[in-house]
Structure 1
Amino acid sequence: MKTLTEREIKALIHLLGDDDIKTAQIARQRLIESRQEAQPFLEDARTSLDPHVRTRVYSILERLRLDELGERFRHFAAMPSAWIDLEEGAFLIAESGYPTINRQHYRDMLDSMAQTFKERMEEQGLKGRELIEALNHYFFEELGFTGNRDNYYDADNSYLNQVLDRRLGIPISLSLVYLLIARRLRIPVVGISMPGHFLLQYNDSLFIDAFEKGQLLNRGECVQFLMTNGFGFHPAYLSPTPTRFMLVRMLTNLIQIYSTQDPDRADSLSAFRDMLTQSYAKV
């Protein structure tokens, strides 16, 4: 493809403000294709006097940023499933919404939460159900994590940094934070990706509903939920979820949210999801 000159790039940026949508879309696509040459000029155009140009330049820069993030996600997804790290994957997803996220700040936050409970766990010699009940009290009552019932479909419910900052989330994101703390403590907790709901399981016995402030369930109650909600039952529904597919489910939630309000972002996240599933299929 022919390299664009400075004059051509500036002309295309000017066309982003054209009243004819097709003309603006053609200019947009050409600028995306010429990303390396165009990006410095697009950055300058953030302050354009034309509001249409400003809005469309922001959209292009977001697309370029997500494409770059997609390359890093591709390398991550290509790793063998046993090497896929849940925390790293969650941070990559969070970066799609918050590009300047300070990972170390949030890792330190998780470390501190785990350390506080570790001291209590060791001092009191907590084990079994008593251990989980104490961890639930700490996580949901003392730290204040809770389900966001008032705004369930807020995208921030799915970004790790926002769940940690706001202490609000949906079943899978609350379970994510719980898991990351439990793993620091070497407590055997896994994710259970049931149809219609996401749970945690401790030591192959207790099921934990993070959206219901750690409500403890037995296997029969989980089966009853599945049957009552029309999913039927299959043993796989209550099997531990591989890390790769927990990330797939997190991405699916965001794709559904953005599909109408930000189709470009939804497309980028769909590509991330495809990378995870396609890499798995090649193994």
Structure 2
Amino acid sequence: MKKNRIKALINLLDDPDTLVFETVEKELLKENHTIIPALEKKWENSYDETCQERIENLIQNLQFKKTRTLLKEWITTEEQDLLEGFLAVDRFQYPDINQMVIFQKVEKIKNTVWLELNDSLTLLEKITILNHFLFNIHGFSINHKNIHSPQNCYLNQLLDTKRGNPVSLSLFYTILARKLGLPAYFVDFPKNPLIAIVHRDLAKRVHGKNTLSDVLFYINPSNKGSIASRKEVGYHLKKNNYSPQERFAEPQPDSLFLQRLLESLQYSFQEVGFSEKKDRVHELLKLFAKR
């Protein structure tokens, strides 16, 4: 019965009466992305440009609804997977993205590094190897030529072009590091995210038993994985009057990491003049405030 009702509604999309269309649109938007194939079939069989435009807008709205649902589920999940969160953002622009292909590409890069690691290496030595493969062998870097391109924010584009922005590159770095068993966490350092390598016992051994932080050292993926000490980071924050220092020097939740990615995407759309997409990203950012 429901299938027949949806089919009947879709057939009314070419009705010239605006009030009829508005009613039909309202009903169809109550559905989810599973009706998209039926909408696409209607589009293919229609020779009415107005009808086709209506269908295109409907499909875009349903795809956005799906992206919003996935992101909301990710935000409210206790054990958040950064890779899945990153892919939820990708769906904003690439709703039909093949996740398996992305998983395979990430796994392939991870394996090139994993083959060079062993338990006798220190965390610093392991990070040095990861940096070498990611930035020297695979050639990942910041897209300085077009830093405001929205494409910098998507994982599939990052994997294809090897270019991203500070947030997307740091996200990808963290995903790889964790897959390699490295304790990597997001640090909301001003203007440029850092990655903290965290180990409670080693931190006490290196920085003294009375240390209040579990951070061993920091990594800057935007500068080919350069290493910064706790002292260097603290000095920079103090010099530039960032307070409290813990807010900018200690690990933050993964949800904030993804929020920063969406803020970067929103800013990119603003810079290139895509106001409608900027507003859509703003809708996604509201999900974080509701948590």
Flag whether TM exceeds 0.5 (same fold).
yes
Asked if structure 1 preserves the Cα contact closer than 8 Å seen for 2:39 and 2:55, the reply is no
Asked if structure 1 preserves the Cα contact closer than 8 Å seen for 2:188 and 2:248, the reply is yes
Q: Tell whether 2:262 aligns with 1:251.
A: yes
CA distance in 2, matches of 1:273, 1:202: 28
Which residue of the partner structure matches residue 77 of structure 1? 75
CA deviation profile, 1:257-280 (whole Å, cap 9, x unmatched):
3354151x434433333223312x
CA distance in 1, matches of 2:152, 2:13: 38
Matched to 2:70, the amino acid is R
CA distance in 1, matches of 2:227, 2:102: 28
Change (3 A) 1:161 1:6: closer
Asked if structure 1 preserves the Cα contact closer than 8 Å seen for 2:184 and 2:197, the reply is yes
Asked if structure 1 preserves the Cα contact closer than 8 Å seen for 2:174 and 2:185, the reply is yes
Bigger shift: residues 204-213 or 220-229: 220-229
Which residue of the partner structure matches residue 63 of structure 1? 61
Bigger shift: residues 41-50 or 177-186: 41-50
What is the aligned counterpart of 1:140 among 116, 135, 160?
135
CA distance in 1, matches of 2:109, 2:263: 28
Asked if structure 2 preserves the Cα contact closer than 8 Å seen for 1:248 and 1:276, the reply is yes
Give SS of 1:187's match.
coil
What is the aligned counterpart of 2:187 among 184, 192, 199?
192
What is the aligned counterpart of 2:282 among 262, 265, 270?
270
* Superposition RMSD in Å: 3.1
Identity in percent: 23
Q: Tell whether 2:26 aligns with 1:33.
A: yes
Which residue of the partner structure matches residue 225 of structure 2? 214
CA deviation profile, 1:65-116 (whole Å, cap 9, x unmatched):
1113322333332223xx1221111111111211121212221222222222
CA distance in 2, matches of 1:257, 1:59: 23
RCO higher in structure (CA 8 A, sep ≥6): 1
Give SS of 2:260's match.
helix
CA distance in 2, matches of 1:228, 1:46: 62
Asked if structure 2 preserves the Cα contact closer than 8 Å seen for 1:28 and 1:60, the reply is no
Which residue of the partner structure matches residue 165 of structure 2? 170
Asked if structure 2 preserves the Cα contact closer than 8 Å seen for 1:158 and 1:170, the reply is yes
CA distance in 2, matches of 1:5, 1:112: 46
Change (3 A) 1:126 1:65: same
Asked if structure 2 preserves the Cα contact closer than 8 Å seen for 1:32 and 1:64, the reply is no
Which residue of the partner structure matches residue 261 of structure 1? 274
Change (3 A) 1:256 1:31: farther
Asked if structure 2 preserves the Cα contact closer than 8 Å seen for 1:70 and 1:268, the reply is no
1:230 Cα shift?
A: 6.5
Provide structure 2 residue ranges, at least 5 long, that are not aligned to the other structure: 1-5, 199-214
Matched to 2:274, the amino acid is Q
Which residue of the partner structure matches residue 126 of structure 2? 131
Count of aligned pairs: 263
Give SS of 1:216's match.
strand
Which residue of the partner structure matches residue 89 of structure 1? 85
Which residue of the partner structure matches residue 106 of structure 1? 102
Change (3 A) 1:230 1:196: farther
Provide structure 1 residue ranges, at least 5 long, that are not aligned to the other structure: 16-22
Which residue of the partner structure matches residue 19 of structure 1? none
Matched to 1:138, the amino acid is F
CA distance in 1, matches of 2:104, 2:153: 20
CA distance in 2, matches of 1:45, 1:232: 55
If the length of structure 1 is used for normalisation, what is the TM-score? 0.79
CA distance in 1, matches of 2:11, 2:49: 21
Which residue of the partner structure matches residue 236 of structure 1? 247
Asked if structure 2 preserves the Cα contact closer than 8 Å seen for 1:46 and 1:58, the reply is no
Q: Tell whether 2:174 aligns with 1:179.
A: yes
